[in-house]
Amino acid sequence: QVQLVESGGGVVQPGGSLRLSCAASGFIFRTYGMHWVRQAPDKGLEWVAVIWYDGSNKYYADSVKGRFTISRDNSKNTLYLQMNSLRVEDTAVYYCARETSSGYVFDYWGQGTLVTVSS
């Protein structure tokens, strides 16, 4: 069965960096686009970034552009999110999500990993 397992969350000071990972299994990872979506405490969902199945294209929300980098290693079935220059407002649960083969919708989600940015 499809599984997405995030890791790497934790507490970091403003201005710091963190790298999240998402280990995928149960499907052919290299054939799917992958996303990061976040949810601040008691707030709604916010799309963060997408990477195409082969890593050839990446797009970001304006709120993280220039600070976050999405990447993937198809040989390790793993998705990454490198987060630099972190701000208090980046505090959230970060989910990785698979985009369906037909596109534009997220059909499987991980359980999320919490990132807390605080001094």
Partner 1 sequence: QSALTQPRSVSGSPGQSITISCAGTSSDVGGYNFVSWYQQHPDKAPKVMIYDVNKRPSGVPDRFSGSKSGNTASLTISGLQAEDEADYYCCSYAGSSWVFGGGTKLTVL
How many residues are recorded in the chain? 119
Min dist. Cβ of residue 76 to partner 1 (A): 22
Which of residues 23 and 45 has its CB atom nearest to partner 1 in the complex?
45
64, containing H or E segment: none
Residues in Cβ contact with 44 at an 8 Å cutoff, skipping those fewer than 6 apart = none
* Residues binding partner 1 (CB under 8 A): 35, 37, 44-47, 50, 59, 61-63, 95, 100, 103-107, 109-112
E-strand ranges in the chain read 3-7, 10-12, 18-25, 34-39, 45-51, 58-60, 68-73, 78-83, 92-99, 106-109, 113-117
Measured distance CA(46)–CA(36) in Å, rounded: 9
Which of residues 8 and 112 has its CB atom nearest to partner 1 in the complex?
112
Which of residues 73 and 107 has its CB atom nearest to partner 1 in the complex?
107
Min dist. Cβ of residue 94 to partner 1 (A): 11
Which of residues 30 and 60 has its CB atom nearest to partner 1 in the complex?
60
Min dist. Cβ of residue 109 to partner 1 (A): 4
Min dist. Cβ of residue 117 to partner 1 (A): 21
- Secondary structure of residue 30 in the 3-state scheme: helix
